[in-house]
């Protein structure tokens, strides 16, 4: 009977590494050199393991014969992984910024932070509008339309209304 050690790379899925000229699979990523459908050149698509769609598709360099693509290698693969990872990270940050907004307003009772968290449900999208005091305690939470425009003026009006659900 063989011991299964979590540090034993021989039993991990990463052991499916491929290092070919047009297909490089390693470290949870796959780089595939493909024919560029828009012109006579080549492109490379980077996919994260388990994802349906490529994270990134970009132009790929022609080889010396000016007909075939330059072969993939470890250095190029590492650069592609870094680029694709950064692209995913920026996309996630942008999505987070679109779905989670906040403003802080001054009131007679002190500073209040108002947050808007959009839930992009396919059937019934909505947003949670929440007020927090300076100590981080929740003062109120109501549901709002997903297109509710949160800014200092709308937050002031919501607080002044006694935290009634915006219409």
Per residue of the chain (167 residues), what is the pLDDT tens digit?
333 333 333 333 445 899 999 999 999 999 999 998 777 789 999 999 999 999 999 999 988 888 889 999 999 999 999 999 999 999 999 999 989 999 999 998 899 999 999 998 889 999 999 999 999 999 999 999 999 999 999 999 999 999 999 97
Q: What is the dihedral of CA 30, 15, 92, 136, to 10 degrees?
A: 180
Give the pLDDT of residue 66. 84
Indicate the helix (H) or strand (E) that contains 94.
helix 74-99
DSSP β-ladder status, 100-107 and 56-60: unpaired
Give the pLDDT of residue 1. 37
Give the pLDDT of residue 8. 36
CA distance 85 to 46: 10
Give the pLDDT of residue 77. 96
CB 30 within 8 A of CB 47: yes
| DSSP letter, residue 91 | H
CA distance 7 to 136: 42
Give the pLDDT of residue 15. 59
CA distance to 59, 76, 87, 148, per residue, from 62 (Å): 9, 14, 24, 49
CA distance 25 to 19: 6
| DSSP letter, residue 69 | B
CA distance 165 to 128: 10
Give the pLDDT of residue 2. 35
């Amino acid at each position: 009977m063989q011991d299964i050690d979590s540090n034993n790379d021989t039993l991990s899925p990463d052991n499916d590494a491929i290092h070919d000229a047009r297909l490089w699979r390693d470290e949870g990523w796959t780089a595939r050199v493909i024919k560029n459908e828009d012109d006579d050149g080549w492109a490379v698509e980077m996919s994260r393991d388990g994802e349906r769609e490529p994270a990134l598709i970009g132009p790929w360099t022609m080889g010396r014969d000016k007909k075939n693509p330059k072969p993939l290698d470890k250095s190029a693969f590492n650069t592609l992984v870094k680029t694709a990872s950064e692209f995913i990270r920026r996309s996630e940050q942008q999505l987070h910024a679109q779905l989670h907004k906040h403003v802080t307003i001054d009131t007679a009772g002190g500073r209040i932070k108002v947050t808007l968290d959009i839930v992009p449900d396919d059937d019934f999208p909505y947003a949670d509008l929440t007020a927090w005091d300076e100590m981080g305690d929740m003062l109120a939470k109501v549901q709002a339309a997903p297109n509710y425009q949160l800014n200092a003026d709308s937050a002031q009006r919501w607080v002044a209304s006694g935290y009634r659900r915006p219409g």
